[in-house]
Amino acid sequence: MYELNHIKGSSYYIQSPSKMGLVKLNDTDVCLIDSGNDKDAGRKVRQLLDANGWRLTTIYNTHSNADHIGGNRYLQGQTKCGIYAPGIECDFTRHPVLEPSFLYGGFPPKDLRHKFLMAQESDADYLTDAVLPDGFELLPLPGHFFDMMGFRTPDNVVYLADCLSSRETLDKYQIGFIYDVAAYLTTLEKVKEMKADAFVPAHAEVTEDIVPLAQYNIDKVHQIADHIVMLCGEPVIFEELLKKLFDDYALTLNFEQYVLVGSTVRSYLAWLKDTGRLTVSFEDNRLLWRKAE
């Protein structure tokens, strides 16, 4: 874990629970794409930099989930590097309590205010084309989170952040986290059309051909959506629907899974309602979801 892997030219990745990109800008300076899940990850990155005689100039965050910005504060404190994050992600990076608050739908209890859902604050600025190194390209990848971005380096290596999951992860957990289902599917269709010498997903293996995995993720979204519609054959409240999904997919409910899977299921419900596959009614002070006739 935390080994440095060369891809091509000046483009590398650091193997970790969420792969980090590393790109050499010259003989001494490097930038990171994401920073790992916590201070310990940041410390291991710093050791790797020191071992190679490199100076970290900048961290470019793909999005603001804690496992991608967790090393920001430590590395910024150690190296004085700049940090940039896209759009709303920048605000979440500056104020990490927004992530568990968003997931929970209110002020989060202590059970959710930990490093896996709430990174330490870091001093981030808004990511724009103007702050990128020469030859870098921003790739909007919304859907998994609000304003997630990927990057293409001058080596034609594409870092895809969390816009898809590995087959193993999907087969095990079934329901991957999605904020906006419609945007997510559009992003995956766009990814299928991309050409690159190598693709680096944060939670899947580096590959030269991303199409099969992108399609597998698309198919999984539609399978989950169909299952939700089936479970709404009779009117059902959200909590009962969530229980049925956890039972059917042999998942175990805890506070983290409640907010992560629960938020995703709400996103599916919104998409299915907006596309006319589900309807809602309010009966006996309950919101009921049902399959559209």
CA distance 169 to 185: 18
pLDDT of residue 100: 98
pLDDT band at 45 (very low <50, low <70, confident <90, very high): very high
pLDDT of residue 46: 98
Would you say 155 and 196 are in contact if contact means Cβ atoms under 8 Å apart?
no
Residue percentage of the chain with pLDDT more than 90: 99
Going across the sheet that includes 157-161, the strands are 137-140, 149-152, 157-161, 198-201
pLDDT of residue 200: 98
pLDDT of residue 185: 98
CATH architecture, domain defined by 4-162: 4-Layer Sandwich (3.60)
pLDDT band at 132 (very low <50, low <70, confident <90, very high): very high
For 166-215, what is each residue's pLDDT tens digit? 999 999 999 999 999 999 999 999 999 999 999 999 999 999 999 999 99
pLDDT band at 14 (very low <50, low <70, confident <90, very high): very high
Across the chain, what does the average pLDDT equal? 98
pLDDT of residue 83: 98
CATH for 223-291 (2.20.130, 1.25.60, 1.10.10, 1.20.1050): 1.10.10
Q: At CA 194, angle to CA 138 and CA 31, rounded to 5?
A: 35
Does the pTM surpass 0.85? The reply is yes
What are the sequence ranges of the domains in the chain?
4-162, 223-291
